[in-house]
Amino acid sequence: MSRLKLSNQSKQLLAAQVRLTGTFHHDLKTAIGTNVQATTEFDQCTSAIHLAVAIGGTRNSITMDRKHRNNGRRAARFIEACANGGVESLSLDEAGEHELATDAEIMLRHAVRTGKGSYYPRFVGIEDLRLTVTPTQRGTVVATLETDDASAQILLPRSPGEAYAVLAEHLERFVAGNRLAMTA
């Protein structure tokens, strides 16, 4: 079977895209002309780059150290492995690299980037926490944090970096307040 590969142009684009936050599309082709499209989503985390790849009905993700100088090549190898079913055998992770971004940070950055959706952050002792992100008619975004007993709405700044910082701070306060209320 012929392997799916990215074009040289896609590989060059990936070298720049690993420094950006956003959704990008890349075509992979075989030598006999089979074509598959991959949707890549990059989120720039504090110390890492989170890459999610959707091809057909599959979705895989990887966290890469922002300081690594070959992230463009590593992203290309990961995308090709996703397309060819070889993610499990691919060893791109360096020691501890997957720990550079928490699940909560990745989730919040994704919520800010997409500007919509429902999310369920996991925190010990809080099983019913929900985050809903909704665009308004004015083009702003409102985030709602809620449990069965409490809720808070936050109008997010337009800048993605500021929006993430505001959302992360409010989430931290909400969780702390919820825990405090449970102990009272």
Please give the tally of structural domains in the chain.
2
Mind listing the pLDDT tens digit for each residue in 11-42?
999 999 999 999 999 999 998 888 999 999 99
> pLDDT exceeding 90 applies to what percent of the chain?
74
Q: Are residues 94 and 120 in the same domain?
A: no
State the chain's mean pLDDT as an integer: 91
Cα separation, 74 vs 151, whole angstroms:
41
Quick one: pLDDT at residue 96? 67
Identify the burial level of 42 via C-beta atoms within 10 angstroms of its C-beta, where 0-12 means exposed, 13-18 middle and 19 or more buried: buried
Which range has the worst mean pLDDT, 39-43, 47-51, 120-124?
Answer: 120-124
CATH number of residue 171's parent domain: 3.30.160
The answer to whether 71 touches 100, Cβ cutoff 8 Å, is no
Reduced to 3 states (helix: H, G, I; strand: E, B; else coil), residue 39 is strand
Statement to judge: residues 16 and 71 lie in one domain: yes
Which residues are bridge partners to 27 per DSSP? Answer: 37
Classify residue 123 by its DSSP letter: B
Domain encompassing residue 74? 5-99
- pLDDT 10s digits, 92-104: 556 567 788 899 9
Which residue, 5, 75, 77, is CA-closest to 41?
75
pLDDT digits (tens, 9 = 90+) for 143-182: 999 999 899 999 999 999 999 999 999 999 999 998 888 8
85 close to 32: Cβ distance less than 8 angstroms: no
Q: Are the CB atoms for 30 and 16 separated by under 8 Å?
A: no
DSSP three-state, residue 151:
strand
Indicate if 10 and 88 belong to the same structural domain: yes
First to last CA, the chain: 63
pTM: 0.82
Indicate whether 23 and 61 sit together in one domain.
Answer: yes
